[in-house]
Amino acid sequence: MNWTDTQTIAENLYDIHPDIDPKTIRFTDLLQWILALDGFEGDPEKCGERILEAIQLAWIEEYE
């Protein structure tokens, strides 16, 4: 998994944290949770706010 796999990342986050409302999460927490995912190989230096927003939006869709 890499930063471009937004839907897969969102699905994994939803599976791991089903009770968390993704609209309330801080980007610092989101980044740490993504980096901790099994199989995630993305470089933290290549992540920006735009990528985190895309992942958060995909997670919100999964959550709702």
The reply to whether the predicted model has a pTM over 0.85 is: yes
Q: 6-63: per-residue pLDDT in tens? A: 999 999 999 999 999 999 999 999 999 999 999 999 999 999 999 999 999 999 999 9
Query: What domains can you pick out in the chain, each with its CATH number?
Result: 6-63 (1.10.10.600)
Distance CA 50, CA 53 (A): 5
Question: What residue has token string 């099994």?
Answer: 38
Q: Interior CA angle at 12 toward 18 and 46, to 5°?
A: 125
Question: Strand, helix or coil at 40?
Answer: coil
Residue type, 30: L
